[in-house]
Amino acid sequence: MSGNTKWTKADVPDQSGRVAVITGSNTGLGLETARVLAERGARVVLAVRNVDKGAEAAAAIAKTAPGADVSVQRLDLGSLRSVRTAAEEIAAAHPRIDLLINNAGLMYPPKGHTDDGFELQFGTNHLGHFALTGLLLENVLPVRDARIVVVASIAHTIRAGIHFEDLQWEQSYNRVAAYGQSKLANLMFAYALQRRLAAANATTIAVAAHPGVSNTELMRHIPGSSLPGFSKLAGLVTNSAATGALATLRAATDPAVTGGQYYGPDGFRELMGHPVLVSSSDQSHDQDVQERLWSVSEELTGVTYAL
């Protein structure tokens, strides 16, 4: 690590020869994660909903990482059809995947639904990634020391629970609680996946990370975000995207990381700072709920895991 003991992007080891697939990587945390991995020599796949914005992101990365191998893949996590198509295309183009980084997410949108009728946040943040990971698993498992990184949030503790009685928020809708459910689901997925990988004696590990509070496009649905000066004010109490991405980068590349760990900022209440090992809520470690969520996720997506 760096001399000041704070983990920074300078601590990311050489990634030459590795393939990294990153969802939601045309902006914010995903773009910064992709940029650093490309600078370190990884072949990076930007898996994004808008391929034009993805192409712009690839061009931006090329400016700071000349010669970087960056490609763009269309992926709409709000459509299981799109997830299946993307998985087929990624698998065909990249027989081996070293890093699968489930980064994309929606936060606090007005009530909406995915193409398959799922509540927008749960369907995109959790179910889309659950399906994508399962469909790409055969390309990840044979790769020694591959990693699946799930980007969670401190919001997994805020009004959060897995509401099996109304997973899709049809009876009522609270966007904060719905986001909390989706991020709690992300963590539970990471822990349950790691348990399965370990039982299968795989060298692949599943790791979780969170960025604290980062000033990115994800904040666009927060009340007041359109007011003059909001972004400047937010910048005083949030991580930049580059700093927020460090937890993901550490989870993805630090040789000392082990399966089932969770990384987040070292500052007050994990809101800001540099990445360290952190802990998640007791609720997130409830294996009975994890297993029920796993079964429901398989049922809703039609994707089962070959473990």
What pLDDT score does 228 carry? 53
Q: Which residues contact 9 (CB under 8 A, 6 or more apart)?
A: 36, 242, 246, 249
> pLDDT confidence of 236, banded at 50, 70, 90?
very low
* pTM, to two decimals: 0.92
Domains within the chain, CATH numbers bracketed: 9-300 (3.40.50.720)
> pLDDT confidence of 22, banded at 50, 70, 90?
very high
Q: Are 284 and 191 in contact (CB under 8 A)?
A: yes
Q: Is 179 a catalytic residue?
A: yes
Residues 110, 121: Cα–Cα separation, whole Å:
10
Q: Which residues contact 144 (CB under 8 A, 6 or more apart)?
A: 203
pLDDT in tens, 255-267: 999 999 999 999 8
Q: Are 252 and 101 in contact (CB under 8 A)?
A: yes
Residues 86, 78: Cα–Cα separation, whole Å:
12
> pLDDT confidence of 238, banded at 50, 70, 90?
low
Q: 108, 173, 179, 263: which is the annotated catalytic residue?
A: 179
Residues 76, 281: Cα–Cα separation, whole Å:
30
List the end-to-end C-alpha distance of the chain, in Å, as a whole number: 35
Residues 138, 102: Cα–Cα separation, whole Å:
16
Q: Which residues contact 188 (CB under 8 A, 6 or more apart)?
A: 162, 284, 286, 289, 290, 293
107-113 long-range contacts (CB < 8 A, ≥24 apart) are 107/155, 107/179, 107/218, 107/219, 107/221, 107/222, 108/175, 108/176, 108/179, 108/221, 108/222, 109/175, 109/221, 110/175, 110/221, 111/169, 111/173, 111/175, 113/168
pLDDT in tens, 205-235: 999 999 998 654 444 444 554 445 534 444 4
